[in-house]
Structure 1
């Protein structure tokens, strides 16, 4: 009696859990450091990378390529919270520096200069005070795929929306004092071979940061 040969057994496909796990670790460490003044500056790259890795890990879990969906969601949440805390700390520090600079005593003018100033003031009593200079900050995003858009500036709450493929979005901000500003564009459903999203920040007509990336275009400006 002869037996038919058994078909070869295919090896099971291992889940791609690496990015979701790495995003969770980076997001957790970044969130811890984000609460520490001064030292918290190192949290910036940690929470940004944790957010990107967590999003990619979540996309893999949704496609059945990874089995740690809960860990990837935790990575996105922890990294997003850490990023918000970093933004708030940066804005608070910048405001404190500006307030301290405004509170410094000014050197008294020499008598001759003071007298000349008094004479000019008497000659032109109706001269108007100069208006404080304002800055214009423009945020721009161009999408190569349907993407999640998120931007923030100073103490303002994060603004989020979804942009369709091939859309160009812009936001113009006017501020007396420049403050930390960021804008990101991440695909809703990342696929290999997707073209790059692009983000750009312009301050007073000058481009200060521009980035293109298929996983997540992230532009941050620190005055």
Structure 2
């Protein structure tokens, strides 16, 4: 008795669902913490990373590399809502402090020569080694997602009457293990206050 040969077994491609799932978890946890005064400061990095990982998860799903697009989208939505709540809390506390404490006039000798009188200058800088997603936040202003080409430097100069919580993050669109690091830096009135290099997600933050 003869048997027909078995067809060759096809190996299913490994799904890269990790970052999409991580984005959902970070977004959910960050949203919960965002509602808690004082402790809510923990939500800032969680929601920002959740937003970054969620965007990468969506990108991978669109390329067919992952099958959890719905979870990645949910992570982006949760992270965005949590980040908005964090911004609102920061604005409320900043206004309360500003209203309760009179601001003395600064003598001309301590004004920054690089900033207009009565203002602060905040400079955000990013360098990339691969095609990367960029996100920056300052006070109530959050830009839409930007995609930077490999090796393209990026910078943004902000002028503020009152310093506000500010962050900038950059992460590769498609993470490859062993890749070179992206970098970010925040400079306030000529002084570097945050600087980081990371291959997964470089995140720089400034808290006045």
| Shorter-chain TM-score range | 0.7 to 0.9
Task: Decide whether the 8 Å contact of 2:128 with 2:148 is kept in 1.
Answer: yes
Partner of 1:31: 31
Cα distance between partner residues in 2 of 1:25 and 1:156 = 25
**Cα gap change, 1:4/1:20 in structure 2, threshold over 3 Å: closer, same or farther?**
same
Q: Confirm or deny that 1:92 pairs with 2:92.
A: yes
CA 1:161–1:57: 2 relative to 1, 3 Å: closer
Is 1:72 the counterpart of 2:72? The answer is yes
Show the counterpart of 1:204: 189
Secondary structure of the structure 1 residue equivalent to 2:101: helix
Q: d(CA) in 2 for partners of 1:13 and 1:169?
A: 36
Distance verdict in 2 for CA 1:136–1:58, change over 3 Å: same
Give the Cα–Cα distance (whole angstroms) in 2 for the partners of residues 74 and 177 of structure 1: 34
Bigger radius of gyration: 1
Contact 2:52 2:133 in 1 (8 A): no
Displacement of 1:140 in angstroms is 0.6
TM-score normalised by length of structure 1: 0.74
Q: Which residue of 2 aligns with 1:135?
A: 120
Q: For residue 191 of structure 1, what is the aligned residue in structure 2?
A: 176
Say if 1:69 and 1:157 are closer, same or farther in 2 by CA, change over 3 A.
closer
Of 135, 138, 149, 1:164 maps to 149
After superposition, the C-alpha distances for 1:143-184 in whole angstroms (9 at most, x for unaligned) are 212223222212234354332221111112222321111112
Asked whether the equivalents of residues 33 and 43 of structure 1 are also in contact (C-alpha less than 8 Å), the reply is yes
TM-score (norm. length: structure 2): 0.79
1:150 aligned to which of 128, 135, 142:
135
Structure 1 residues 210 and 9: alpha-carbon distance in aligned structure 2, compared to 1, 3 A threshold: same
What are the superposed Cα offsets for residues 30-87 of structure 1, whole Å, 9 maximum, x if unpaired? 1233133223222223213322332343343234332111111111221122123212
Q: Is the 8 A contact 1:147 1:186 kept in 2?
A: yes
Q: Is 52-61 or 146-155 further displaced after alignment?
A: 52-61
Which ranges of structure 2 fall in alignment gaps of 5 or more residues? Answer: 109-116
Contact 1:56-1:215 at 8 Å conserved across structures: no
What 5-or-longer segments of structure 1 have no aligned partner? 107-128
Q: Which residue in 2 is equivalent to 1:41?
A: 41
| Partner residue in 1 for 2:159 | 174
RMSD of aligned Cα (Å): 2.8
Q: How many residues align?
A: 199
